[in-house]
Amino acid sequence: MRFFSDNAAPVCPEILSALADANRLDTAYDGDRWSQALDARMSQVFETEVRALWVPSGTAANALALAALCPPHGGVLCHRNAHIQNDECGAPEFYTHGAKLMLLDGAGAKITARAITEACALIRDDVHQVQPHAVSVTNATEYGLTYTPDEVAAIGAAARERGLGLHMDGARFANAVVHSGASPADLTWRAGVDALSFGFVKNGGMNAEALVFFRPELAEATLYRRKRAGLLLSKGRYLAAQILAMLDDDLWLRNARAANGGAQLLAEAAGERLVYPVEANEVFLKASAAEAAHLRGLGFDFYDWAPGEVRLVLSWDQGEEAVRPLADAIGAL
Amino acid sequence: MRFFSDNAAPVCPEILSALADANRLDTAYDGDRWSQALDARMSQVFETEVRALWVPSGTAANALALAALCPPHGGVLCHRNAHIQNDECGAPEFYTHGAKLMLLDGAGAKITARAITEACALIRDDVHQVQPHAVSVTNATEYGLTYTPDEVAAIGAAARERGLGLHMDGARFANAVVHSGASPADLTWRAGVDALSFGFVKNGGMNAEALVFFRPELAEATLYRRKRAGLLLSKGRYLAAQILAMLDDDLWLRNARAANGGAQLLAEAAGERLVYPVEANEVFLKASAAEAAHLRGLGFDFYDWAPGEVRLVLSWDQGEEAVRPLADAIGAL
Amino acid sequence: MRFFSDNAAPVCPEILSALADANRLDTAYDGDRWSQALDARMSQVFETEVRALWVPSGTAANALALAALCPPHGGVLCHRNAHIQNDECGAPEFYTHGAKLMLLDGAGAKITARAITEACALIRDDVHQVQPHAVSVTNATEYGLTYTPDEVAAIGAAARERGLGLHMDGARFANAVVHSGASPADLTWRAGVDALSFGFVKNGGMNAEALVFFRPELAEATLYRRKRAGLLLSKGRYLAAQILAMLDDDLWLRNARAANGGAQLLAEAAGERLVYPVEANEVFLKASAAEAAHLRGLGFDFYDWAPGEVRLVLSWDQGEEAVRPLADAIGAL
Amino acid sequence: MRFFSDNAAPVCPEILSALADANRLDTAYDGDRWSQALDARMSQVFETEVRALWVPSGTAANALALAALCPPHGGVLCHRNAHIQNDECGAPEFYTHGAKLMLLDGAGAKITARAITEACALIRDDVHQVQPHAVSVTNATEYGLTYTPDEVAAIGAAARERGLGLHMDGARFANAVVHSGASPADLTWRAGVDALSFGFVKNGGMNAEALVFFRPELAEATLYRRKRAGLLLSKGRYLAAQILAMLDDDLWLRNARAANGGAQLLAEAAGERLVYPVEANEVFLKASAAEAAHLRGLGFDFYDWAPGEVRLVLSWDQGEEAVRPLADAIGAL
């Protein structure tokens, strides 16, 4: 059993069904009935009027969101370990036409309102220095931690005070929602978030993510940027249908609940071995090379994160039941 | 029955099967077995060593190809009616970081070696003028015409003489291959093509196109550009599997043959009404508003291209048999 | 005597004096007293509140102006023979991050309100096509013609109706003002111009041009773009001082009057040989190769523009008196 | 007497003379005799064949150099306090089309070969992470320290080993040369430098800097980029003439020697108050608010760098004699 990445998992059966159901003639690009239904459906989920665009990757969602919030000569404050900084090969710089990522520190890849305020205070207000225009947070973070609505709201307030837009990279937004128990609205726009990369692929989807704008006017230019980037797929209904299927009957929450549940089971078994609290579907464990080899010998595979540390990522199909053998093996180390 | 666009058609059943077959855990991004098989499979198709990258749209393939062939300060010669100029919202400019499209004339959206040479002769060789670095041809063209291998070779020679790279937008490459009877190799690298956008979506695929480099070294930087553009989907196997399924048992040729066949039947019925010779899966007809209304009354729908002209695009599932009623209706006008 | 280009001429003595006068310690960049005086001085010239930035080249002024008026995914309507299209190596594309120049026809490199309206009518209002966001006119044009205030106003109205910004490339604005007899205000903002590249270098300056914003809010982001482009010279006072010297005692108008006067004298001598009406400081003559050689034999040099056509550009120091020998020689051909 | 910035100083008299001497008709842009002489003259200075381009600012020189060494998807290793990171409003990102600056630590704003090697070791060699393509060092640094030829050579070797280009920001290159006693060649290409921003403006010039390529082939594309950026001034002779005047009779070294000398005198007077060793023309002093106020009361002005620290920058006209009163005042604190 492999715990490398939630991107390695297969897609859940509802997604394949949705593709089959959508397999009929309709209008190209995003003129089809599925794409046209997205705004309304997402507005229900978020209890406010939003604009929602499908895109084929989380990197695309993030980069388009940042381009909507930050001009080429501006900067985006984010954590030093953020996916947008470390794992997107400069996509934010490409889409924003050269904005600068301004790196903040913080435990577990989380940033704070205070870190934002302090960083801004060090920037001279003149044309020689890049001025920040936006903040980006990842929820759940790259280390599997989550933000509470209050934490996001504090960041949102700090951003607003300085006139900065707020983006949330929600590649694992579902896992964060499930853990927090908060509503999607409370975790986002009510806390000051302007744009959300709402991830579905890591959560059992195939190749559709949503970019949700809580300030609907931001969507207009983004529609052109999406096309211009080659991201407006010509048979868009196969993306929109995935997202709608995920939202139907709260499949997105069920899938995330399963993965989070599997992670919790491992966390309990791991005890003192945990590097970070487990709040989503990622588990970072202290494990010696010998211990890691032992687990692999039992048929479990995962990522060597750092010397003496391994990372396990749980997928929608790796709930409590599925991972119990691994939990037992970890407990027995 | 609708003839709006080959993007409006459903995907062919083999594609859905391929997605289901690929639905298992594997490595993320393009590390999976399907993605890893692309280079070898495409090298067979083209009888030479190529590098082949999946991308989710033809616009992405085109823009990445042009970025590989033209620096930001350069220019790309193409037809005034090329898709890259008229229908991609500036994607070439985005990916090349501002290269200039230099527009050529030519019947049926085809360009000639002579047009290239004449255009180049008018450009002063100094730093004040944008210097051309590449040529882009569309085969089949936006008006449904195709290039013969000799025509491409003449263009390739003119390009090489001036030191220009040659890109082929093959959104409907399959239709061109079928019409020409030539081998994929003869229509591309043997005629001087450096990079091909090899389309599958209009030909029955869902959301996978291939970008094929006949000069393999061009692929290296493109791998970074693909990631940087948010085009490296995290579950790439679902794209690679589509392309492989299309190549299996020449499905891509069978689908194109069907669509071309349907178009030929309409062409024969249309006779003098044809605006352009029909060489692929597009039919441009002279039809008065009353005639168009009459056909629509019979249940056929299509695009009003220009006053007195309509465009019909045939899909993989609109072969001779399927379109016979329309052919009869056109013949009876 | 050479008539190649107004860029080839020396600078006028007042410019050297101004540089010597400014040669004292002051604040760097644009914090000095000369730079700080520009807004007010230009506001007097234009009879309204403007923001004026010095830049070291006309290309920089043009490109910054277009970047202020057009987003990366937009387009700029301009004449096919505009300097921004033909002589700036893609500077507009660089500064706008890839906007598209949309080329219009028109006699003498002039565009009309009608050409704008017709071009816009052909652009589909969807995300697949680049949408125009700005218009750029050159006054005096690349062929030495000028716009009347009414002509500019008609263009301004057509632009406004479509929501487009209006830029004027005034590399030879002084010559246009002198010819028209209109006020700078009437030729610009009162006619709908949003941003003017106000040229001084071709008119006797050394390396300072002004970018004037009639919508002052456009200046804010441009200040960052200017710095980011390496155009915020560290000893800016030597640029600002040039511009102020040019405005003092209407030196800019006197210089232009001289050059225009020289051109008129040549025009009268040329009679039927004129290719275009002479309205500024450029004279396009029909002249056989033998005639051109004859004139060169007499010590006059100029640019071979096209087969059977030569171009002569008059500088601030080539007024009537200076060019009389050439006028006589032309008359005697 | 002000010690704010070497940009605040007037230009030295030889520069004004050179401008007057160049004030005659010649070819526009860089076709004139002065511009055409630059390559040969700089090749003498550096004892090897170089290409040298004038540009009007150091930021422009830096950004063009980085664009020549690093593709849009690459990264540039530099010190966290480098001018290119902190004081150019994102010019490197603009000119490189979005490359990422990768920040290194090091005392006195100096980086080391080891820091480069360590930073590279942390970067995964995959397409998800931006790969470094170049290194940039500032000599003298932003804190007034210099690199020895051996230190540069070590950095050059580390860069070459990883395949990275090496840029030197020499806004104060003259001061570094004077301090090191090394030849310009030893401090640059013999130590592995590929491109040098050779500063003259801070050293008594008006608005001309040189971008020197030790790999001449790098100049070709840069000529287009310079034009495209609006940096190819139309009367380039007034820039080239400044640079030639600076090189004549080693004026550049004499000016730097004066400024360095003034700084040394202050350094000796400052003793324990020095924050950094003084190796060029910048002096960072510990001084309480009261002490700073006292000095200002005596007529000396300078920059408050940080709480309890002030920065004094010496200009070409602030040699030992001129600054003795300030040295005395510092000594008497």
A51 touches chain D (CB under 8 A): no
> Which residues on neighbouring strands pair with residue C198, listed in sequence order?
C170, C210
Dump pLDDT digits (tens) for A77-122: 999 999 999 999 999 999 999 999 999 999 999 999 999 999 999 9
Within 10 Å of residue C267's Cβ, how many Cβ atoms?
22
- Give the pLDDT band (50/70/90) at residue B4: confident
So what's the pLDDT on residue A209? Answer: 98
A114 touches chain C (CB under 8 A): no
Of D72, D75, D86, the CB nearest to A129: D86
Residue C107 preceded by cis peptide, ω within 30: no
Q: Name the residue among D125, A80, D66 with its Cα closest to residue B223.
A: D125
So what's the pLDDT on residue A325? Answer: 95
> Which residues on neighbouring strands pair with residue C103, listed in sequence order?
C78
D104 touches chain C (CB under 8 A): no
Angle at B13 between CA B12 and CA B15, to 5 degrees: 75
User: Please, which residues have CB within 8 angstroms of residue D71's CB and are 6 or more apart in sequence?
Assistant: B221, D96, D99, D133
| Residue linked to tokens 């979005």 | D98
Compare all CA atoms of chain D with the CA of A100 and give the residue at the minimum distance.
D90
So what's the pLDDT on residue D128? Answer: 97
CB contact under 8 A, C127 and A226: yes
A288 touches chain B (CB under 8 A): no
Fold classification of C252-331 (topology level): Aspartate Aminotransferase, domain 1 (3.90.1150)
So what's the pLDDT on residue D82? Answer: 98
So what's the pLDDT on residue C6? Answer: 86
Averaged pLDDT for residues C292-296 = 96
Helix axes D237-247, D13-21, angle to 10 degrees: 130
The 3 state secondary structure assigned to chain A is CECCCCCCCCCCHHHHHHHHHCCCCCCCECCCHHHHHHHHHHHHHHCCCCEEEEECCHHHHHHHHHHHHCCCCEEEEEECCCHHHHCCCCHHHHHHCCCEEEEECCHHHCCCHHHHHHHHHCCCCCCCCCEEEEEEEECCCCCCCCCCHHHHHHHHHHHHHHCCEEEEEECCHHHHHHHHCCCHHHHCHHHCCCEEEECCHHHCCCCCEEEEECCHHHHHHHHHHHHHCCCCCCECHHHHHHHHHHHHHHHHHHHHHHHHHHHHHHHHHHHHHECCCCCCCEEEEECCHHHHHHHHHCCCECEEEECCEEEEECCCCCCHHHHHHHHHHHHCC
- Residue A6 reports pLDDT greater than 90: no
- Give the pLDDT band (50/70/90) at residue A207: very high
Residue A140 preceded by cis peptide, ω within 30: yes
- Residue D143 reports pLDDT greater than 90: yes
- Give the pLDDT band (50/70/90) at residue D5: confident
Distance of residue A30 Cα from the nearest chain B Cα, in angstroms: 11
Distance of residue D333 Cα from the nearest chain A Cα, in angstroms: 30
Residue D140 preceded by cis peptide, ω within 30: yes
- Residue C254 reports pLDDT greater than 90: yes
Dump pLDDT digits (tens) for D255-313: 999 999 999 999 999 999 999 999 999 999 999 999 999 999 999 999 999 999 999 99
CB contact under 8 A, C127 and A73: no
- Residue B6 reports pLDDT greater than 90: no
D303 touches chain C (CB under 8 A): no
So what's the pLDDT on residue B229? Answer: 98
Of C88, C90, C128, the CB nearest to B89: C128
CB contact under 8 A, D232 and C59: yes
So what's the pLDDT on residue A1? Answer: 82
The pLDDT mean for chain D works out to 97
- Give the pLDDT band (50/70/90) at residue B35: very high
Distance of residue A153 Cα from the nearest chain B Cα, in angstroms: 29
Averaged pLDDT for residues A255-270 = 97
CB contact under 8 A, C228 and A131: no
Amino acid type, C27: T
Cα separation, B163 vs D132, whole angstroms: 29
Dump pLDDT digits (tens) for D50-94: 999 999 999 999 999 999 999 999 999 999 999 999 999 999 999
Cα separation, B41 vs D224, whole angstroms: 40
3-state helix, strand, coil in chain D (%, to 5): 50, 15, 35
CB contact under 8 A, D233 and C89: no
What is the residue extent of each domain of chain D?
A: 13-249, 252-331
Cα separation, D12 vs A296, whole angstroms: 73
CB contact under 8 A, C71 and A131: no
So what's the pLDDT on residue B269? Answer: 97
B163 touches chain D (CB under 8 A): no
B90 touches chain C (CB under 8 A): yes
From chain A, the residues in CB contact with B60 under 8 A are 229-231
CA torsion B123→B125→B130→B134, rounded to 10°? Answer: 80
Running DSSP on this structure, what letter comes out for residue C18?
H
Compare all CA atoms of chain D with the CA of A75 and give the residue at the minimum distance.
D90
Residue A172: alpha-carbon gap to chain centroid? 4
Dump pLDDT digits (tens) for A224-255: 999 999 999 999 999 999 999 999 999 999 99
C130 touches chain B (CB under 8 A): yes
User: Please, which residues have CB within 8 angstroms of residue D193's CB and are 6 or more apart in sequence?
Assistant: D152, D156, D166, D167, D168, D187, D214
Cα separation, A169 vs A171, whole angstroms: 6
Distance of residue D224 Cα from the nearest chain C Cα, in angstroms: 7
- Residue D195 reports pLDDT greater than 90: yes
Contact at 8 Å (CB) between D22 and C8?
Answer: no
Q: Which has more confidence, A133 or B321?
A: A133
B232 touches chain D (CB under 8 A): yes
Residue D168: alpha-carbon gap to chain centroid? 8
So what's the pLDDT on residue C64? Answer: 98
Q: Which site among D73, D97, D125 would you substitute to test the B interface, given the most B Cβ atoms closer than 10 Å to its Cβ?
A: D73
- For residue D166, which phi and psi values (nearest 5 degrees)? -130, 120
From chain C, the residues in CB contact with B97 under 8 A are 94, 97-98
DSSP labels for D69-97? H--TTEEEEEETT-HHHHSSTTHHHHHHT
Cα separation, C332 vs C149, whole angstroms: 37
- Residue B173 reports pLDDT greater than 90: yes
ipTM of the complex: 0.97
CATH number corresponding to B13-251 = 3.40.640.10
The neighbours of chain B, by the rule of 3 or more Cβ pairs under 8 Å, are: A, C, D
Sign for the pseudo-dihedral over CA of C157, C159, C165, C170: negative
Q: Name the residue among D73, D66, D61 with its Cα closest to residue D166.
A: D66
- Residue A148 reports pLDDT greater than 90: yes
Q: Which site among D235, D315, D316, D318 would you substitute to test the C interface, given the most C Cβ atoms closer than 10 Å to its Cβ?
A: D235
Averaged pLDDT for residues A18-24 = 97
From chain D, the residues in CB contact with A86 under 8 A are 128-129
Q: Which site among B21, B84, B206 would you substitute to test the A interface, given the most A Cβ atoms closer than 10 Å to its Cβ?
A: B206
Running DSSP on this structure, what letter comes out for residue C302?
-
CATH number corresponding to A13-249 = 3.40.640.10
Dump pLDDT digits (tens) for D86-133: 999 999 999 999 999 999 999 999 999 999 999 999 999 999 999 999
Q: Which site among B105, B124, B130, B305 would you substitute to test the C interface, given the most C Cβ atoms closer than 10 Å to its Cβ?
A: B130
Of B87, B88, B93, the CB nearest to C93: B93
Sign for the pseudo-dihedral over CA of B250, B255, B259, B264: positive
From residue D324, alpha-carbon distances to D3, D260, D283, D320 in Å are: 13, 13, 14, 6
Contact at 8 Å (CB) between D281 and D260?
Answer: yes
Element holding D168 (H helix, E strand): strand D165-170
The pLDDT mean for chain B works out to 97
Averaged pLDDT for residues D36-41 = 98
Length of chain C equals 333
Chains B–D, number of C-beta pairs less than 8 Å apart: 33
Averaged pLDDT for residues B256-261 = 98
Distance of residue A128 Cα from the nearest chain C Cα, in angstroms: 7
> Which residues on neighbouring strands pair with residue C310, listed in sequence order?
C285, C304
So what's the pLDDT on residue C55? Answer: 98
Compare all CA atoms of chain A with the CA of C224 and give the residue at the minimum distance.
A127
- Residue C5 reports pLDDT greater than 90: no
